[in-house]
A and B are shown apart, each in its own frame.
Chain A
Amino acid sequence: MHNLTKNITSLAKKSALVLALASSFATPAFAAGGAISGGPEFKHVDWSWAGVFGTFDRAQLQRGYQVYKEVCASCHAMELVKFRNLSEAGGPEFSKAQVKVLAAEYEIEDGPDAEGEMFMRSRKPKDALPSPFANDNAAKASNGGALPPDLSLIAKSRGHFSFKDMFMGRDGLSGGPNYIYNLLVGYEDEVPEYITKYYDHKNEEGLKADPDYTESHFELGDSNFNNFFPGYKLAMAMPLDDDSVEYSDGTKATLAQQAEDVSTFLMWAAEPKMEIRKSIGIRVLLFLIILAGLMYAVKRRIWENVRH
């Protein structure tokens, strides 16, 4: 018994240290929006795919693809995702025949043919999702100088992998999709009151302290106001609104529904192996826990008669 208590205490100490190390080095939370308080609350969506056992909802991924295809794809590329991925396990799981049809809607340059000429052919499952612009410069030129980022990894390259999410069973990855969701629903037609109030207050305080204080104001310029974009000024105009798409499965296409669907689709696009990863992970951890139990018994058996 003495041994056991000792082992447990030393293990507890060990894990405490590991956790302390990990927590102190956790990457800082991605600043959602600016530092100004009083805006709408950042919503943490209850994703079906979050947590240790979470899986994607196929219908939602298919709807998400529809939103991506009909709205996002007119400006954003997705060069790491291939049409064939859309029929692979753990994704939207369109049928192979459906994917052929989806791919054939777009063309791609191929060649050279026997005469040395490049030619256009329809896309096949092996090809990537289409890019709306020939290159980055063309994309910038068509978007007022701002480059619409490639969306293949957007769900992993935005947002944070927070310690809290890790223990809330949120997979530690939900920061990105939560950010995308909030961004999509976070547009305002006009600069909201909490921003103007903040600047008014700042100017008032500044003038009190120093009569030569130069007033500052929030200038939106050509940008669009978004509650959750760092700095609030977003080049992308509000891309989604109620009924921006018409879902073929009859789901009502509210703004929130579309934002959730497309965020989920982007999560899948960034991490297409998530489902298999988790399902294998559960088995691996169970195996290791049993092995650890056996090893503990072996170790105890061997040290049984040794005081140490």
Chain B
Amino acid sequence: MSGHSTYVPKSNAGKWLEERLPIISLMHGAAVSMPNPRNLNYWWVFGGIAMFMLIVQIVTGIVLAMHYTPHADMAFSSVEHIMRDVNWGWLLRYTHANGASMFFVAVYIHILRGMYYGSYKAPREVLWLLGMLIYLLMMATGFMGYVLPWGQMSFWGATVITNFFEVVPFIGDDIRTLLWGGFAVDNPTLNRFFSLHYLLPFVILGVVILHIWALHVPGSNNPLGIEPKTKQDTMRFHPYFTMKDLYAIVLFAIVLFYFVFFNPNFMGHPDNYIRANSLVTPPHIVPEWYYLPFYAIVRAIPDKALGVAGMFGAILIMFVVPWLDTSKVRSAKFRPAYRIFFWVFLFNGLLLGYLGQVSTTDDFLGIHGVTNLLISRIGTIYYFGFFVVILPVLGLIEKTKPLPNSISEAVLGVEGAKAEAEEMAANESKA
């Protein structure tokens, strides 16, 4: 990361530290002098936003843990104690609950941006893998966090998800018992989920640091998908991208706090305001919205074991995308056919999200004879087909558009780039 640093310590204390631990030049290289492609658009701000949301979640989470009691008899009341008695407790809890959703919104956009512009392709495969690992850890953290209020949806969500593990051959039963710490979801389950829910965000933070490290070796991809060649193609990270990211973070915070203050329960489920009851199952068990596409996939597959395998496979297949995509061209800007399949993939994801929370036997949007189950199956086939058929085959047969010579030529035109290059050279010789 320190490769790009132009930091030279000025004070004696700075020199002293630099010789012993070059942490300032490391951070300088990562957040100040790092060269970034000048043509990044606003889709590139969501990495910074996701980082901001992670910090919001960790800070509010630590504070909430000061008041929460991870015991089956007291968890529900302790959450209500936070809402009613703790100073600003309602604000902290609503921020944490809605923050989780908004964190996922940012990360989903971040992932989809990477898919659209081919950011996962060489030499950024490790960057992508680390990102997927973060996503997987977020899913686990979010799930365990949703269990903590110990409402009906917490309890039954935990029951359904842990029962997925039963399909593992031979040892499924044992894994499930191990997760539960008993013969059903109960106090030991709640306790360990709390412990892990507190731990995992720090693991995520660690992987985020690796993710940033892996970003700074090849540098950011860009909307053109071609590597920067000359100094003209890039800008310093600070102030250009720091200020752009901060501006975007403030805009994102407006959306977050709109939900926190004016619609705090919109993304939750009413049943979670009912105390967990191990003898009554709610009529519809619906996971948090960010799992819904995967929940639709598990329900679309008739066999239990295959369904669970399909659900986990749907997540794991994302890890190997860099090796499934055979196209030499990164950006969808120059891949007219891929662009269409991508938008269909996005729409299909939203559709599966919708299908994840409606009854499978009902008619799809009221169309007689077309069940939600049928549409879920078509959606599932497209989801997997996109990865295992479209990505490998399309790369081989697609006729891509010609790529520009360089980023600066694309932005400034051939003449403009030449003029700017000359000016820069003149300035440098002056200096």
**A interface list, Cβ under 8 A from B:** 7, 10-11, 14, 17-18, 20-22, 24-28, 30, 52, 80, 85, 149-150, 152-153, 156-161, 163, 166, 171-173, 175-176, 270, 272-273, 277-278, 280-282, 284-285, 288-289, 291-292, 295-296, 298-299, 302-303, 306-308
Contacts and interface: CB of A to CB of B under 8 A. Distances in A.
A166 B263 contact: yes
Interface in B171-187: none
B240 interface: yes
Contacts of B251: 11, 292
B269 A172 contact: no
A299 B109 contact: no
B358 A153 contact: no
Given A18-B105, A158-B270, A292-B254, A172 B357 contact: no
Given A25-B354, A292-B254, A303-B240, A52 B273 contact: no
B268 A273 contact: no
Interface stretch (B63-71, B83-91, B328-336): B83-91
Most chain B CB inside 10 Å of its own CB: which residue of A18, A278, A289: A18
A8 to B, nearest CB: 10
Interface residues of B, number: 59
A27 B257 contact: no
Contact of B247 (A25, A27, A52, A295): A295
Contact of B246 (A11, A26, A295, A306): A295
Given A156-B270, A298-B247, 13 more contacts: A11-B251, A22-B266, A27-B357, A28-B357, A153-B274, A157-B272, A173-B265, A270-B273, A272-B84, A298-B243, A306-B38, A306-B235, A307-B416
B353 interface: yes
Contacts of B40: 308
Contact of A281 (B83, B246, B260, B357): B260
Contact of B250 (A277, A291, A306): A291
Given A25-B357, A28-B358, A281 B254 contact: no
B84 A80 contact: yes
Contacts of A25: 267, 289, 292, 353-354, 357
Interface string B274-287: 11000000001010
A21 B350 contact: yes
Contacts of A20: 350
Contact of B261 (A149, A173, A284, A306): A284
15 contacts: A10-B41, A10-B43, A21-B350, A22-B266, A25-B353, A25-B357, A26-B266, A150-B275, A152-B80, A173-B263, A288-B253, A292-B254, A303-B240, A306-B38, A306-B240
B170 interface: no
Most chain A CB inside 10 Å of its own CB: which residue of B40, B253, B254, B263: B263
B258 A285 contact: yes
Contacts of B263: 161, 166, 171-173
B411 interface: yes
A281 B270 contact: no
